Structure 1
């Protein structure tokens, strides 16, 4: 999966006009209109790769000590694979031939590279330029290995407002309630409801 992400970045980098790079899935939706998302990203002084130090089996428990000395346990990080990068960081990821080989060799079985490679790599090398958060809203409140899914009956204006403005975070050194630009996981059955409520709420047609 990491190789696939790197190939996507490498192809996107071929266009010199591309300055920001976002990974989304087919289950993601935008929470704001294009001008809002574009301005938020282009004016940001940070990249958005979620990274945190998690104890337990699905955090530090996935670390392989054979990665030392290049990667130490205290440097091991976990996070969402749904990233937003600037051009400089995208180039560094595509060019990395030091840390990715370690993940290929030693991050196997229960170790999920897509949850650890970028968080660890970015935290080790570029932590000053990273926000340590994702721009993609997701609901883990029910626990388990996968986030909550949203079908037609779950899509409401209140839910979308919560995703859009229900959090607080730092943006360019100031506190803001716009922390997420995208959200997941939305099922195909949610499309009709989204098309009816989103234009007015998000000003898609303004």
Structure 2
């Protein structure tokens, strides 16, 4: 999974016009129109990769002491695989020949590299470039096990979309804002017709 993400980044970096890089799933939707998202990301002074220290079996419990001395337990991080980063950080990720091989060898079986490699790598090497948050909203309150909650057609309403756009506060370039999530998931294919109906009025799509 991580190797595939790095290959995607490597190909995107080849185009010098690309300055920001976003990984989304097929079940993600934008919560704002293109110009709003573009302006938000191009003006952002940092990248957005969720990274946090989590005790327990799905956090620190996945750490392998074979990664010492390069990665210590105190440096081990977890986060969403859905990332956004600027060009300078993307180049560092695809160029990494030190930490990635460690994860290939020792983050195996119950350790999921897509949840740990980027959060750990960025937190160790480039922590000042990162906001430690994701710009993709996910509902874990209704999920089952490792899977988040999902939305079907009856769930979609203008109020839902408005709530997703303003459901928390965060820091953006040193200022507090309610524009934190630019995307959201998981939306099943059957939601498309209702999303298209409400998008012009709520998200200002045209």
Q: How many Å apart are 1:198 and its aligned residue?
A: 1.2
Instruction: Give the stretch that moved more between structures: 148-157 or 67-76.
Output: 148-157
Match of 2:127 in 1: 127
Match of 1:73 in 2: 73
Match of 1:3 in 2: 3
**Deviation string for 1:9-57 (max 9, x for gaps)?**
0110111010000000110000000000000000000100000000000
List 4+ stretches of structure 1 deviating above 4 A.
none
Match of 1:136 in 2: 136
In the alignment, the residues of structure 2 paired with residue 164 and residue 46 of structure 1 have an alpha-carbon distance, to the nearest angstrom, of 20
**Deviation string for 1:50-80 (max 9, x for gaps)?**
0000000000000000000000000000000
SS of aligned partner of 1:137 = strand
Match of 2:31 in 1: 31
TM-score, scaled to structure 2? 0.98
Map 1:1-206 to 2 at 5 A. Answer: 1-143=1-143, 144-205=145-206
Q: How many Å apart are 1:158 and its aligned residue?
A: 1.4
Q: How many Å apart are 1:199 and its aligned residue?
A: 1.4
In the alignment, the residues of structure 1 paired with residue 160 and residue 101 of structure 2 have an alpha-carbon distance, to the nearest angstrom, of 41
In the alignment, the residues of structure 1 paired with residue 37 and residue 142 of structure 2 have an alpha-carbon distance, to the nearest angstrom, of 29
Q: When the two structures are aligned, how many residues end up with a matched partner?
A: 205
Q: How many Å apart are 1:5 and its aligned residue?
A: 0.5
In the alignment, the residues of structure 2 paired with residue 177 and residue 19 of structure 1 have an alpha-carbon distance, to the nearest angstrom, of 24
Q: How many Å apart are 1:142 and its aligned residue?
A: 2.4
Instruction: Give the stretch that moved more between structures: 13-22 or 142-151.
Output: 142-151
Q: How many Å apart are 1:141 and its aligned residue?
A: 0.7
Unaligned runs of 5+ in 1: none
Unaligned runs of 5+ in 2: none
In the alignment, the residues of structure 1 paired with residue 166 and residue 150 of structure 2 have an alpha-carbon distance, to the nearest angstrom, of 20
Q: How many Å apart are 1:128 and its aligned residue?
A: 0.7
SS of aligned partner of 1:55 = coil
